[in-house]
Amino acid sequence: MLVFGRHRRPAGEERSTGFGRAPEGGDHEKRYRPSLATTLRFALRPDRAQRFEVISDVTVVEPITAGRGIRELRRLRRRYGRGRWRKMKGVATIRLADGRVRRAELHWDEAHGIGRKEVKRKRYPARKLSMARASRTRFAVCIDNSGYPASLDLHKIYRVLPDREAEEDGDIRIVDESGEDYLFEADRFLPVDLPPKTERVLNRSFARFGAETR
């Protein structure tokens, strides 16, 4: 008969944690939190629908927020299940669908027992982000949210931030359901030309919503 029980470690042996290693020992162990980005390395495998491949370990891993601090927490739970969700970031080398290779800052959501979900490109650290001023705010409708059901709603209008280099690469910078801007493939969206009055109303709504969630 097999008996499954808790493995007892010798006194003084360190226990591995999700953020690195912390010494055994009561309250100290419970309070342990990393003060800086860790040097943890691990493989990250985005969903195929996310259209890029991570070809290196993820390094400089750091938590962004957790639990109710995640704006799209309800969406994550509804789509993937309840769990102790936290939003993370790290740096890795990725290969895009057209063969381009980039060193990228990646953000994702993860929960124990569920895994890492919705890996998104925040920026390319080696390239200076060129957010050119636009005379008018641009908007686009999502026509493909595959791989990002918690981040994007199908047929919903999203705000577009100007990013010349992203557009040259065939990408678009979208403010998604997290309230943050990320790079997505441009063919996931259709640009929309709205009447000036409608644009003003939308801009005020975005500004008000952003202020309420800070």
For residue 193, what are the CA distances in angstroms to 48, 63, 207?
31, 38, 20
What percentage of residues in the chain have a pLDDT greater than 90? 55
What is the DSSP code (8-state) at residue 125?
T
Confidence of residue 41 (pLDDT cuts 50, 70, 90): low
d(CA 146, CA 155): 12
Q: Which of 49-58, 78-87, 127-136, 170-179 has the lowest average pLDDT?
A: 127-136
Q: What is the pLDDT of residue 209?
A: 63
Confidence of residue 201 (pLDDT cuts 50, 70, 90): confident
d(CA 139, CA 39): 38
Confidence of residue 49 (pLDDT cuts 50, 70, 90): confident
Take residue 1 and report the two structure tokens written for it: 């008969």
Confidence of residue 28 (pLDDT cuts 50, 70, 90): very low
Averaged pLDDT of the chain: 80
Do 63 and 88 meet the contact criterion of CB atoms below 8 Å apart? yes
Tell me how far apart the terminal alpha carbons of the chain are, to the nearest angstrom.
Answer: 56
Q: What is the pLDDT of residue 211?
A: 54
Take residue 11 and report the two structure tokens written for it: 């006194």
Examine the pLDDT at 56 and tell me if it is beyond 90: yes
**Residue extents of the structural domains in the chain:** 48-213
Nearest to 126 by CA among 160, 99, 92, 161: 92
Examine the pLDDT at 205 and tell me if it is beyond 60: yes
This prediction has a pTM of 0.75
Nearest to 59 by CA among 106, 124, 125, 3: 106
**Choice between 144 and 136, residue whose per-residue pLDDT is larger:** 144
Q: Which residues contact 31 (CB under 8 A, 6 or more apart)?
A: none
Examine the pLDDT at 33 and tell me if it is beyond 80: no
d(CA 138, CA 136): 6
Confidence of residue 171 (pLDDT cuts 50, 70, 90): very high
Element (H, E) at 93: strand 86-96
